[in-house]
Amino acid sequence: MPEEADQVRFATAPTDATTEVFGTSEPFVAAPLLASRLTPPVPPEPVVLRPRLVDRLDRGAGGPVTLVLAPAGWGKTTLLSGWARAERDGPAPAWVTVAEGDTTGRLWAYLAAALRAAVADEPDEGPPPPVPDGPPRPEQLETLAAALATRERPVLLVLDDLHRVADPAALAGLEFLLRHGDGRLRLVAGARHEPPLALHRWRLAGALTAIGPDDLAFTADEVADLLVAHGVPVPAEAVPRLAERTAGWPAGLRFAALALGAGTDPARAVERFGGDQPDVAAYLRDEVLAPLDPAARDVLRRCAVAVAVRADLAVALTGRADAGHLLAATAREGGFVQRDGGEPPWYRPHPLLADLLREELERLSAEEVRELHRRAAGWCAAHDRPAEALRHALAAAEWDDATALLLTRWPELAPDEPARAAAPAPPEPPAEAVRRDPELALAAAAERAYAGDRAAADGQLRRAVAYAVDLPEPRRDRFRRLVAAVELSLARLAGDHEEVRRAADRLLATVPPPSGVHPAAAVSGAGVPATDPRAAGGEEDDVRAVADAALGLVALAEGALATADARFGTALTAARRAGRARTELLCASRSALLAAARGALRAAEEHAREALAMPPCQGWSSRLDCGYAYLALALVCWQRDRPAEAAAHLALAGPAGAEPGGAALAALCRAGLLADAGEPAAALRALAGARAGAPGPELVGWLTAAEAQLRATVGDLDGARALLDVSGDGGTPDPALALASARLRLRAGDARGAERALPDWTAPDAAKWPLPVRLGAGLLEAVSAGSAGDARRAGRLLEEVLALAEPEGCRRVFTRAEPEVRDLLATHLDSGTAYWATVSDLVRDVDAHRPEPTPVASARTLDEPLTERELTILRYLQSILSNVEIAAELSLSVNTVKTHVRNIYRKLDATRRREAVRRARELRLI
């Protein structure tokens, strides 16, 4: 935002002096100090409160260094000045605004004035530290650092515009004080890039707080607050669109608020707001593009033909071998060139900057722009990105290439994301070219469908059909198949499930015999292949892959999980035979999620890893498909009781967690993690919200069962009972709901009722249940048998449950189960089990999840604690292994093991092995 004008008031300046700065003499001549540089500027009105950022600054100020790093217009000064001006206990932070051209002496003059003001009038701290008048000598720095270290209250120093420091030596004294002041001097700085400080020291120590453009970007709620503060009445549905168009850039949002306030139709103005508007364009040119190296500016401009670029694509477009390095350097500044997390990375300009760059691109000659599109089309076609290749071929007016791309790559042109970054629509093919080749209009329709522009796609489809009336019979068959594929894409875009089914049936009806394959047309300039070897004899696989994938997506969106799984399985097999990587990725990622949902964890992990390793899963274009793979891995890790890994994968699921089927499964995982972390209220909110919008009775049943079980866990038995009573009305009860009902009855003390409600997990149909439900039912039956005194039956049931769980690595069903399960597992170790190592680990993990014993319980602990080695051997004493076998397992001598065993008996006051194990379990040592 524009800087506040300097005030004409002056602060007191030191006298003239000549000082030595780390061994070099520099004349230091006193000059008046501007009070405006020692005072936080007044934030621009209207002020929007952003507590999350203020909290970040408060927490960061507890450490030595906090940096607010972002390019121009990201609200650094506004955030820092608002935080510095806020009321707090103790004195306000010292403030210095760095100016261009500040010498070491000039900068230190302001630092000295700010530090003196910060430590003045604090009688409890004793005499103020000796702040030198000019740049300090080493001994003066040591004295000042020592004086700061004795202070009880730290000194907060805010340096704004720290990027203006050109000489690293100017900050040498400040860095010395930060390192040697015993944490009593704390720096909070704002800069456009990292300052010349040894930040690695604090970063490695975990003592550096960094707030970047992603943090400073306005959320949708904050955008709404800003518009309200500006008095701009924007419809609620337009707010997320404005946040998307500006990517949360604070300066861009203020420009937008001013523009919207001046119009009469804010909703329409939101759609028209872009980086090519005069005020925004001028700001971006002056503050973002002007400071860049001319070569970097030219690379950004020429790469604007594509929505996102990779280093090798940038080289192909610009002819510069260093284009990738220039992009990487620009992205390191953050904010206006974003880099994804893939390898190799993709780069994408900020949406408003992209508008401006495309406007600048138009200043090139028409032939230069066409040549850029030709190069982009050739690169995309060669790198398995047919949709982008088609757009560029159309933009370059390479009509033959565009038609060939449709004929050879049509199965990969179906829309694979609900919303993509906007790219300018290519020009409409001329009537003469479409008359000669109606498939060209179909290519334009497929490109617009992929871009999400249904109206334009439908117009091109109608145009193609109108020109195709005179096609000869062989071409007519192929044309009919392509029309059905485009209609299927349009039905998917519209979200019309019935039309998707009808279009898929029409597409399947076009499957030709093997001899009916027609070669694709020849192509020219952009390097698009004339024929695709994958298409030879593979039309049936292509048709089945596309149609079944679309039907699988519909089934998943409707919550018909078994149908979706079958459709994706068929489509995956066909896509692999046809070599269609993008369709394969779509199906593999969804198959992984569905496998994880039913508890086939090994298959889910395998499918998910395969999906993430596929080339299309790089860059922004497949975020949804890759998100499903990450969501599958989250469910796998959750069922295996690895919460940290599950949370990490869930965070990467992105848009997959917002789609109907994916949202329900993501909510199950998220709620489980929240409950495990001691946040049951948040978990219940997540489950209730997902249940309200979940598709299909199966997903609703899973969410209801999870919510009922969690309500019972927190003591709300009536709420759990009411939830299950409503959900269980009519029909055969869902096994997940039946299991939840049995658990609730057992918790209420109705063992007989629990036994009646428990679903038969050994019945033949139970093989179709989700594995966690089947395991939970088996465990509950084993617990009931144990409680009834039938230890033999309980052990047999538990062994059967372990046999089901072991191959998939399911652990959570044991470690987060009823308290009685722990004792059942511990007892099972004594009776002998084929899964001794697994059961031993499960008992230990259950104990790890239990709360620490109270002081009263601690009084029952041992007078002489067991050593780590003795605890290890104690765990082996639960097994049937002899001392000789234990010694071999641990690579110890038999005598050593015997000595440890004797010590264990003595400390546990036991005389034999079984007694020692029993005593250890009572003390929760194993």
Q: What is the DSSP string of 891-908?
A: T--HHHHHHHHHHHHHHH
Tokens at 507, concatenated? 């597409």
Contacts of 480 (CB under 8 A, 6+ apart): 510
- What's the CA gap between 353 and 31, in Å, rounded? 41
Q: What is the DSSP string of 747-761?
A: HTT-HHHHHHHS--T
Q: What is the DSSP string of 337-354?
A: EEE-SSSS-EEEE-HHHH
Per-residue confidence at 731, pLDDT binned at 50, 70, 90? low
pLDDT at 419 over 60: no
**How far are the Cα atoms of 153, 381, 773, 802, 912 from residue 719, in angstroms, in the given order?**
51, 58, 21, 32, 49
Residue 681 burial (C-beta neighbours within 10 Å; 0-12, 13-18, 19+): exposed
Assign 3-class secondary structure to 367-412: HHHHHHHHHHHHHHHHCCCHHHHHHHHHHCCCHHHHHHHHHHHHHH
Q: What is the pLDDT of residues 686-717, one digit of tens each?
A: 999 999 889 989 999 999 999 998 888 887 88
Q: Are 666 and 651 in contact (CB under 8 A)?
A: no
pLDDT given at position 294: 92
Q: Are 909 and 919 in contact (CB under 8 A)?
A: yes
Q: Write down the mean pLDDT value for the chain.
A: 84
| Cα four-point dihedral sign 741, 744, 746, 749 | negative
Asked if residue 43 has a cis previous peptide bond (ω within 30° of 0), the answer is no
- What's the CA gap between 774 and 304, in Å, rounded? 54
- What's the CA gap between 845 and 881, in Å, rounded? 22
pLDDT at 30 over 80: no
pLDDT at 880 over 70: no
Cα 53–Cα 56–Cα 57 angle in degrees, nearest 5: 90
Q: What are phi and psi of 698, to 5 degrees?
A: -65, -50
- Pick from 211, 212, 265: which is nearest to 238 by CA? 265
pLDDT given at position 816: 84
pLDDT at 733 over 80: no
Over range 735-744, report the average pLDDT.
90
Tokens at 777, concatenated? 């039912």
Q: Are 406 and 442 in contact (CB under 8 A)?
A: yes
Of all residues in the chain, what percent carry a pLDDT higher than 70?
Answer: 88
Contacts of 23 (CB under 8 A, 6+ apart): none
3-state SS class at 66? strand
Highest mean pLDDT among 267-271, 631-635, 857-861: 631-635
Over range 20-49, report the average pLDDT.
70
Q: What is the dihedral of CA 32, 37, 42, 48, to 10 degrees?
A: 180
Q: What is the pLDDT of residues 176-216, one digit of tens each?
A: 888 888 888 899 999 998 888 888 888 878 888 999 998 99
pLDDT given at position 123: 57
pLDDT at 375 over 90: yes
3-state SS class at 537? coil
**How far are the Cα atoms of 430, 576, 817 from residue 582, in angstroms, in the given order?**
31, 10, 41
Q: Are 607 and 576 in contact (CB under 8 A)?
A: no
Q: Are 509 and 501 in contact (CB under 8 A)?
A: no
pLDDT given at position 521: 37
pLDDT given at position 517: 41
**How far are the Cα atoms of 239, 298, 366, 735, 869 from residue 373, in angstroms, in the given order?**
33, 16, 11, 57, 69
Q: What is the pLDDT of residues 422-444, one digit of tens each?
A: 678 899 999 999 999 999 999 99
Of all residues in the chain, what percent carry a pLDDT higher than 90?
Answer: 40
Q: What is the DSSP string of 5-44?
A: PPPS-EE--PPPEEEEETTEEEEE---PEEGGGGSPPPPP
Highest mean pLDDT among 401-410, 654-663, 731-740, 790-799: 401-410
- What's the CA gap between 412 and 560, in Å, rounded? 25
Q: What is the pLDDT of residues 594-632, one digit of tens each?
A: 999 999 999 999 999 999 888 766 655 577 888 999 999
Q: Are 135 and 105 in contact (CB under 8 A)?
A: yes
Per-residue confidence at 575, pLDDT binned at 50, 70, 90? very high
3-state SS class at 652? helix
Q: What is the pLDDT of residues 118-143, one digit of tens each?
A: 877 665 655 677 887 777 788 888 88
Per-residue confidence at 728, pLDDT binned at 50, 70, 90? low
Confirm whether pTM is higher than 0.75.
yes
pLDDT given at position 528: 41
pLDDT given at position 7: 37
Over range 352-365, report the average pLDDT.
91
Task: Determine the number of helices (DSSP H) and then strands (DSSP E) in the chain.
Answer: 46, 12
Per-residue confidence at 13, pLDDT binned at 50, 70, 90? very low
Over range 558-584, report the average pLDDT.
93
DSSP structural state of residue 285: I
pLDDT given at position 527: 41
**Residue 780 CA to chain centroid, in angstroms?**
37
The two most distant CA atoms of the chain are separated, in Å, by 100
pLDDT given at position 857: 36
With residue 34 as reference, give the H or E element that holds it. strand 33-34
Per-residue confidence at 366, pLDDT binned at 50, 70, 90? very high
Over range 855-865, report the average pLDDT.
54
pLDDT at 15 over 60: no
pLDDT given at position 516: 41
Tokens at 158, concatenated? 């805010």
Q: What is the pLDDT of residues 803-815, one digit of tens each?
A: 999 999 999 988 8
Question: Which of 65-74, 486-495, 678-687, 730-739 is least confident?
Answer: 730-739
Question: Which of 330-339, 459-468, 591-600 is least confident?
Answer: 330-339
Q: Are 80 and 211 in contact (CB under 8 A)?
A: no
- What's the CA gap between 842 and 845, in Å, rounded? 5
Strand partners, 97: 160
pLDDT given at position 318: 94
Q: Are 115 and 131 in contact (CB under 8 A)?
A: yes
End-to-end CA distance of the chain: 62
